[in-house]
Amino acid sequence: MTDLTVLHTLRCMGFTDLGRVASAAGLAPEEAESRLIDLAVEGLVTRVPGAFGGWGLTEAGKAEDARLAAEELDKAGARAAVTSAYTDFMVLNPELLDLSTAWHLRTVDGVAAVNDHTDAAYDARVLARFADLDRRVSPVCAALTAALPRFGSYRRRLSAALARGDLAETTESYHNVWFQLHEDLLVTLGIPR
């Protein structure tokens, strides 16, 4: 029995290290590693060694994940609900990208410049709009979680990133978690990027 939790979590994160997969999947690292090794035996995931190494899916793993995710979606009778939530999500998506960009770049004296975060008022405005967007994405997250409980992890991770003020900095930033949710919706609904 293939473990969809870890497989799908890794699919949406892309390529990452053990600690991050475990955290996103809500598992202890040892447990996550044990499941990853089982998946590797099945030929579904692979580990790249080295400084930039980590875990990722094989082509077979991607195909199997797509198949299992579709199966899970239809078994739960959740396709309509997830499709509707995806539509709502895509309305908000451009704004998230605007805000992530605004966090890194701003127009100063008519010229685009790197935001050096020395202007607290500007940063506060960006943060306020992030918080506003976060409020508006909440009903989307709630609808998704009601349709498929595994979507619940995104609400938790988005809130944690916002609370840290990690808008677009780290691999667990608001932007990256959002992007994984986007990827998850595409994979789950079988929509090519």
| E-assigned strand segments in the chain | 15-16, 45-48, 54-57, 105-108, 111-114
| Category of 26 on φ-ψ map: left (φ > 0), alpha (ψ -120 to 50) or beta | left
Question: Which of 123, 142, 183, 189 forms a contact with other proteins (CB under 8 A)?
Answer: 183
Rounded least distance, CB 169 to other proteins, Å: 5
CB atoms inside a 10 Å sphere around CB 92: 15
Per CB under 8 A, does 30 bind other proteins? no
# binding residues, other proteins (CB under 8 A): 54
User: Residue holding tokens 């999947």?
Assistant: 25
Terminal CA-CA length for the chain: 28
Site membership for other proteins, residue 44 (CB under 8 A): no
Return the residue of 3, 6, 7, 13 that touches other proteins, per CB under 8 A. Answer: 13
Pair of tokens at residue 112:
């685009």
Residue 6 vs 57, nearer CB to other proteins: 57
> Pick from 23, 153, 176, 188: which binds other proteins (CB under 8 A)?
176
Given the complex with other proteins, which of 73 and 179 has the nearer CB atom? Answer: 179
> Least CB distance from residue 3 to other proteins, whole Å?
20
Contact at 8 Å (CB) between 105 and 113?
A: yes
Which H, E and C letters describe 153-168, residue by residue?
Answer: HHHHHHHHHHHHCCCC
Cα–Cα distances in angstroms (integers) from residue 85 to residues 111, 129, 167, in the given order = 38, 21, 23
Supply the minimum distance, in Å, between the C-beta of residue 97 and other proteins: 4
Minimum CB distance to other proteins, residue 64 (Å): 14
Q: Is 116 in the site for other proteins (CB under 8 A)?
A: no
Question: Which residues of this chain interact with other proteins, rule CB under 8 A?
Answer: 12-16, 48, 50-54, 56-57, 59, 62, 92, 94-95, 97-102, 104-114, 125-126, 128-129, 132-133, 136, 168-171, 173, 175-176, 179-180, 183, 192-193
